[in-house]
Amino acid sequence: SLGANLDWLRAWPQRHEFNLARSGPAACPETTYSFDVAPVHFVALNEYCDADGDASTDGDISPLLYDWLASDLGAATQPYTFVIGHEPAYPQPDADLGGPARHLGDSLDKYPENRDRFWALLAREGVTAYLTGHTHAFSAYFKDGVWQIDAGHARGAGDTSLPSTFLVIDVTRQAVLLRVYRGAADYTLWHTFVLVGKALYLPLVAR
């Protein structure tokens, strides 16, 4: 299990060399944490964490995780915040190929009450974006003032059902810009989004 695999890390004498700004709950201090870089506050959430350990749920914002996140976001002072978690709150179809949304009902939406409370917290605390994955499909979804960005996959030939995707996020004091590169081998710029200021979905750049 994930928890068993972390035993070596917890026993490692030099583990204090890790300088995390704030480690997560006692049940998952290495897999949930936050830190600041310039104007951005980053939060990494292990959505499988609960009081019993690192891998004790099937993907949920448990009360333990929610309380820690609420405290962390309440103390953040940076103008932008990115929260990172594996499972989307609102699974979406691929932005370019469409089709059914993967893992619909098998993501954070499996527990809608906890999902809704989580999203309301992100909106209330002015989170810029929730960065996620799980579906292997790229999408950008804007709800209640918060972006959900599903990074898709970068497996190349390992998953040919959808284009591989790389994201570049540029942050300045004035703006946050997302560039989306997709392809099989020769990646090209497909989309540009302005995440802060105007919620603008710009036209396709190249295919």
pLDDT per residue over 172-204, tens digit each?
A: 888 999 999 998 777 899 999 999 965 444 444
Mean pLDDT across the stretch 159-163?
87
Predicted pLDDT at 176: 94
Q: Which CATH superfamily is domain 2-156 in?
A: Metallo-dependent phosphatases (3.60.21.10)
Structure tokens at 147: 């972006």
Residue 122 near residue 170 (C-beta atoms within 8 A): no
What residue spans define the domains of the chain?
2-156
Confidence check: pLDDT of 6 > 90? no
Cα–chain center distance at 21: 18
Instruction: Provide the terminal-to-terminal Cα distance of the chain, rounded to the nearest Å.
Output: 41
